[in-house]
Amino acid sequence: MPTTFSAQPPVLSFDVIIIGSGIGGLVSATQLAAKGAKVLVLERYIIPGGSAGYFEREGYRFDVGASMIFGFGTQGTTNLLTKALDAVNVSLETIPDPVQIHYHLPQGLDMKAHQNYENFLQELMAYFPHERQGIRSFYDECWKVFNCLNRMELLSLEEPGYLTRAFFQHPLACLGLAKYLPQNAGDVARRYISDRQLLKFIDMECYCWSVVPADMTPMINAGMVFSDRHYGGVNYPKGGVGQIAQKLVEGLEKAGGQIQYQARVTKILTENNRAVGVQLANGKVYLAKRIVSNSTRWDTFEKLLPAENMPNSEKKWQQRYQKSPSFLSLHLGVKAEVLPSGTECHHILLEDWKQMEATMGTIFVSIPTLLDPNLAPAGYHIIHTFTPSWIADWQSLSSSEYENKKEEVAGQIIKRLERIFPGLDAALDYMEVGTPRTHRRFLGRADGTYGPIPRLKLRGLLGMPFNSTAISGLYCVGDSTFPGQGLNAVAFSGFACAHRVAVDLGF
């Protein structure tokens, strides 16, 4: 059944409407506006950015999610955030982070993923001297993937003209990528490495951004992360992660695009199985030649479109991918003296390998004020710490049960963090706890999920959909499209989506 127009007559018509201003949506919007398309972004919240947004409390400016940012390098083709800002004539100052992660892992494995590749390898090899060769071979193979990606312009892999051009310009790189596309990082690691603890470490290296172990992590994504951290590096935007979206909006508007906040899309309107517009919660209707959803696939195909008409391709996708857990987040303001000198910005804490994927198993920590002190009052730091948590554990609670549970689990996390930051509890100045319910409410993501994860071992990235969908005129962008979660990954999705839409519209 087509979704019929209702309520009020259409007010305006656009080339492209983008539902949501996450980084995927904004990169798509800015790219299209820069090409001359008439673009409207509709955002349900009061500011842009989604999981890369921010909030301010008592002199602290907290990142709501992402803090470890790839894609701000200056060379090659994989620095997609730099490129996205450049395309609309805006820029951001960034602060380089010399260490991607300081790992605090079981069996005394305490090491740093340095920006310098050799320093990283030497530190790992010192723990596993019998695996020196295997370590180098595995990480060198990740570079092969990265070098293929970093040679060509990254656009839509579902646009035949681009694929042909890319193949003739970079035949070896294309063949290399085709070889790695169906592979997972765990299979490649086991070709070179047999030490079980080292393989666990590689699981954690993948898990901390893909939220699945190495066996289920596509080699393309692993190649990107494990090499780009040494190439473009991890760089923090001055003023906080929220600046990325703010700058993209500035660029969008300069390029003639528009954005509306507090504009929640409740329906994608279709005619003869073709998306033709959207309807907002206030009843307003907007029409466009193309609709792009930056909402998750679950929200797009179960809420914005009638779930009972879900296309078969989406049903199949849901059989292959499931929602990852959400997070329990603690946003802390702490006295500066609690952090020993030389503390790194990002940490991972795990006490027992068996708990890596468990609820509240792995603890993630970011302390962005070590890079940009202006995000907190003088003499204080921000600690954003988060750990996997399922929405089911937070449903059906009375408001007092909910508050008590938040306090109880926050206490457990802080107690565990005392191991790396002794005196943390006593140094607390501010604390705000976000649960999966908070993520669902403020980020507009089904069950507050971090994004899609394979239900079982798949063939690398082959199962991840590109941007076009089974509904003509409707595209998806963001972390439920190729190549998945992370700001640089959704920026890739944004470039690819804009390219596909622009070709379809003849721009």
- Which residues make up the interface to ligand FAD (CB under 6 A)? 19-25, 42-45, 50-52, 65-69, 264-265, 294-295, 299, 327, 329, 386, 443-445, 450-451, 478-479, 485-487, 490
Our CA angle for 389, 393, 397, nearest 5°, is 135
Using an 8 Å Cβ cutoff, are 342 and 395 in contact? no
Using an 8 Å Cβ cutoff, are 363 and 410 in contact? no
Taking the C-alpha atoms of residue 282 and residue 366, their distance in angstroms, rounded to an integer, is: 38
Residue carrying structure tokens 């938040």: 406
Phi, psi of 329 (to 5 degrees): -115, 135
Taking the C-alpha atoms of residue 481 and residue 451, their distance in angstroms, rounded to an integer, is: 10
Taking the C-alpha atoms of residue 77 and residue 146, their distance in angstroms, rounded to an integer, is: 10
Taking the C-alpha atoms of residue 266 and residue 101, their distance in angstroms, rounded to an integer, is: 40
Taking the least distance from each CB to ligand FAD, the nearer of 183 and 385 is 385
Q: Which of 329, 361, 364 is CA-nearest to residue 209?
A: 364
Taking the C-alpha atoms of residue 454 and residue 460, their distance in angstroms, rounded to an integer, is: 10
Q: Find the radius of gyration of the CA atoms of the chain.
A: 22
Taking the least distance from each CB to ligand FAD, the nearer of 227 and 485 is 485
SS3 state at 361: coil
Taking the least distance from each CB to ligand FAD, the nearer of 68 and 370 is 68
Taking the least distance from each CB to ligand FAD, the nearer of 150 and 295 is 295
Taking the C-alpha atoms of residue 369 and residue 233, their distance in angstroms, rounded to an integer, is: 18
